[in-house]
Structure 1
């Protein structure tokens, strides 16, 4: 194993975070195969929440799906009213990587937030107004680096901030709303919104009313943004989604349409360079 790999520090991955997200987050310079050490005894229950089996993973997925539905539609009736056969088939399609079956069942939930058609050349298409469920994993560093191999290692989950906030997409301006705009809108602690205080207050009130706490998220993950910094002193060093590092000026609607997870959450891993606190 590469001695500079974060895994050499024995950081224990959480089972309720998607595997791809763990890889994006913990492997600053991706290497394959991903070397993992599997232990069959001495489970660190004081550090990691026990996984009781497939049912634990299934209900974690379903709970996230309900939360995403609530954010998108203002309710989760479509998920709650799924027939038992559809629920079983949806889970099996995710478990087995059966895209055709997944699309057939998930389309009944009507959880789309962006248009399907994009104009030639511009990569821009019809975008309807909506709220996009986003989970942001923020890794903050104080020292600069040019090569990801030189990035400080993650040796504790305390160094990762977990942020669960929806992103608003408006039809008339969604085509020009970039990934960078989305990331900055989720991180007002680092990038103060240029909009009026009244608009920010309205967004926060709306968010509090419509965001349903995920059972898994509330129990096992916490928002941990400790300090506010002027935006001029904060730099986005890395953004990784689904194993790729997209350009920050890419339309956010494209990112949502193509890189959202099966539970309809967009998981974004971000590395920020922030000033060192003296």
Structure 2
């Protein structure tokens, strides 16, 4: 099952319908949109070699400064495509309609991107950060040969899980294992790394898990995901780049709920509610009286709407991105004050 889960992550893709922005159209009539299948673990700038030839006869002369938007909202190129989709489309839109621009780069919103080189730099830098969080240093990434580093990057660009599985053990990343996930975690690429800690019966053990958490907070409640308003500014999204201290204690299961609670205590107190959970009359009366806690409406990882009771070890060993970060998109109803 674990091997299947990792395979699904690597094969996961989003159908895109790419429109050329009207200000970049230099032909008549305007070209129809391009249809592209984008990998979830990939990045939008890596699609440019596919998209630009399609629109080349319609572009005005001049130097390109390419960027994408969704309903006028500029998309950050260094966030994996699947994470952008999970974060911005509460109700999944297929195909996902994006607009490509070849001029007018919004440098006040987006950091510069020089195509594949910038994306590769971002990936390797994230890999170093992740290894430092897990192992306390990044020497295995730094000591990786140039050819191995290139092959690792190529495996990610091409969605080649077999090649990645051959190369990633050289990074010697730590892994998390416990009695709740041992059988499922052993066959995933991340689980084939060296485990830095020995198992001691009854002992509480910790591991640091690299997590990037994206939180969109809404002031108004909603019944259906299709009622979630379109986002129009990155200011509406809180971004946490913070490790989770994974607690491993024999006989206890550290869950996704525990992990998110460590990152978002203001939304995951003892009386906080998760959408879909039933509360007792006493809980309801107390919540109505205080109205301090918010409500988590949606947690999405790799396109999956997660149950918070799932063992965090399974999530880590199967749903991490290739740079060993776990990307979690959360939609919350803000606390009432």
Q: Do Structure 1 and Structure 2 share a fold, with TM-score over 0.5?
A: yes
Match of 1:272? 332
> Equivalent of 1:166, from 239, 243, 248?
243
* Pair 150,130 (structure 1): closer, same or farther in 2 beyond 3 Å: same
Tell me: higher relative CO, structure 1 or 2? Use CA pairs within 8 A at least 6 residues apart.
1
User: Pairwise CA RMSD of aligned residues?
Assistant: 2.4
Residues 31-110 of structure 1 aligned to structure 2 (within 5 Å): 31-110=93-172
8 Å CA contact 1:113–1:129 kept in 2: the answer is no
Residue 302 (structure 2) pairs with residue 242 (structure 1) = yes
Cα shift readout 1:177-223 (whole Å, capped 9, x = no counterpart): 111111111113444699xxxxxxxxxxxxxxxxxxxxxxxxxxxxx
8 Å CA contact 1:237–1:271 kept in 2: the answer is yes
Residue 218 (structure 2) pairs with residue 141 (structure 1) = yes
Residues 174-253 of structure 1 aligned to structure 2 (within 5 Å): 176-191=253-268, 233-253=293-313
Residues 1-40 of structure 1 aligned to structure 2 (within 5 Å): 9-40=71-102
Moved more, 96-105 or 107-116: 107-116
**3-state DSSP of counterpart to 1:108:** helix
TM-score, scaled relative to structure 1: 0.77
Match of 1:114? 176
Distance in 2, Cα, partners of 1:193 & 1:264: 30
Moved more, 103-112 or 66-75: 103-112
8 Å CA contact 1:20–1:242 kept in 2: the answer is yes
State the Cα distance separating 1:273 from its structure 2 match: 0.8
The structure that is strand-richer by fraction is 2
8 Å CA contact 1:71–1:166 kept in 2: the answer is yes
State the Cα distance separating 1:276 from its structure 2 match: 4.7
Match of 2:230? 153
8 Å CA contact 1:185–1:193 kept in 2: the answer is no
State the Cα distance separating 1:175 from its structure 2 match: 5.3
Distance in 2, Cα, partners of 1:38 & 1:59: 22
**Number of equivalent positions:** 231
**3-state DSSP of counterpart to 2:210:** strand
8 Å CA contact 2:248–2:254 kept in 1: the answer is no
State the Cα distance separating 1:152 from its structure 2 match: 2.6
TM-score, scaled relative to structure 2: 0.64
Structure 2 runs not aligned, ≥5 long = 1-16, 18-68, 185-198, 272-289
**3-state DSSP of counterpart to 1:75:** coil
Structure 1 runs not aligned, ≥5 long = 2-6, 120-125, 195-229
